[in-house]
Structures are given as structure tokens and as C-alpha cells.
Chain A
Amino acid sequence: SQELEQSPQSLIVQEGKNLTINCTSSKTLYGLYWYKQKYGEGLIFLMMLQKGGEEKSHEKITAKLDEKKQQSSLHITASQPSHAGIYLCGADMIDKIIFGKGTRLHILP
């Protein structure tokens, strides 16, 4: 079965600093979703990557899917307090998504 491992589990960064979150799959991915979740709330869709080597950006967040389609990274540039939350990667299983455990991001002012 498909398994996703996210690293780090938790991350504390100073406001204004860059950071990277990784998501590694045990199998080749059909597609990879990135979601953000604030405590006590639902998930907010960030990006979906499907092609090996694909890179997408939205505001200060960039996500990449490696050529072998088994690892993705999420990079935040010049972090802000609004970036705080839990970042979840999800593997596209055609008709459902399998999620990783998430990375909890804290931004220090």
C-alpha cells in the first residue's frame, strides 16, 4: 500500500526565513497534493503536481515533484505569521487521496 512520510514533523522558524518541507512516497506517485490546515479547521488546497520535474508556485510557496515522482518538496520564501499551520501532502490514488501525517509549522515573530 502507498505510504507517505513527511519531514520534519515539526518546524519552528523565525519570521522572514525560508523553509522546506519534504514528502517522500514509498511508491511512484500518480499525483501529489499539498494542503494546509489550521488548527481546528478543514484543509485548504494549495497545489497539485502530476508530472515528474513539475514545479508550481503560489505567492511565496513553491512545490516541486522530483523526476522519479517519489518525492516532493514545499518551499516557503520569506515566511510570515500567516504561513503557520499544518502542511499535509496527499498521494493521488486516482479515486482517493492518501495523506501523510503532516508537518506542523510555527513562525516566530
Chain B
Amino acid sequence: EAGVAQSPRYKIIEKRQSVAFWCNPISGHATLYWYQQILGQGPKLLIQFQNNGVVDDSQLPKDRFSAERLKGVDSTLKIQPAKLEDSAVYLCASSPAYEQYFGPGTRLTVT
């Protein structure tokens, strides 16, 4: 069974630029999560989708972050414009019910 796929694995941008991350969950998993993990911290939930609807986006900085999950399958997370404090690993996870399966993450460096 293929795992959660994410791309790119690494991205370096300058502040005020835009960036997008892509996630393809495990086939059949209805729930998809985006997490932000700052160095030395645990992952923080940014947004949770159930199929193509948003369940929880309370910690998503909506002035600069946006996410969508068209057709209830893959998802994109966008940052526009990026700030230095957005440097982090962005993790995508999918779940059939309770257990979450994580992708390898995208490491973003904002300079």
C-alpha cells in the first residue's frame, strides 16, 4: 500500500514570496490533515479536511495561509506571502478513522 506522498521535500524561498505544497493521501482515507512543525516543537494542526470539507482550521493563519482539497483526494497548502517564522516542516497526514499516517514532510526555509 502506498503511503502519504508529499512534494516538494525541500523548499527555500525569500520572505514575501509565495509557496505551495502538495499532498496525496493514502487511497480511501477520508480525513486529511496539514501540520506545521517548528524545530524543537511537536506538530501543530493547521487544517483538517473530511473529504473535501473543512472540519477544523482554527489554527490556520488565514491572512497568509490557504488550503484546499478538491475532489476529496489530494490537497495543496499555500503560503502567500511567506514570513521568516513560517520556516518549518509541513506534514500531511491521512486517516481512515483514528490512526493517522504521516507523509515525509516538506521542509520550508524562508530567508
Contact = CB atoms under 8 A, between A and B. Distances in A.
Nearest to A40: B107
B91 A43 contact: yes
A96 interface: yes
Contacts, number: 52
Nearest to B100: A97
Interface stretch (A51-59, A69-77, A98-106): A98-106
A42 to B, nearest CB: 4
Interface residues of A, number: 22
Range of interface residues on B (Cβ < 8 Å):
20 to 34
Contacts of B104: 41-42
A40 B105 contact: yes
B56 interface: yes
Given A40-B107, A42-B4, A42-B103, A97 B45 contact: yes
Interface in A62-103: 88, 90, 92, 95-102
B85 interface: no
Interface of B: 4, 33, 40-45, 48, 55-56, 89, 91, 93, 98-105, 107
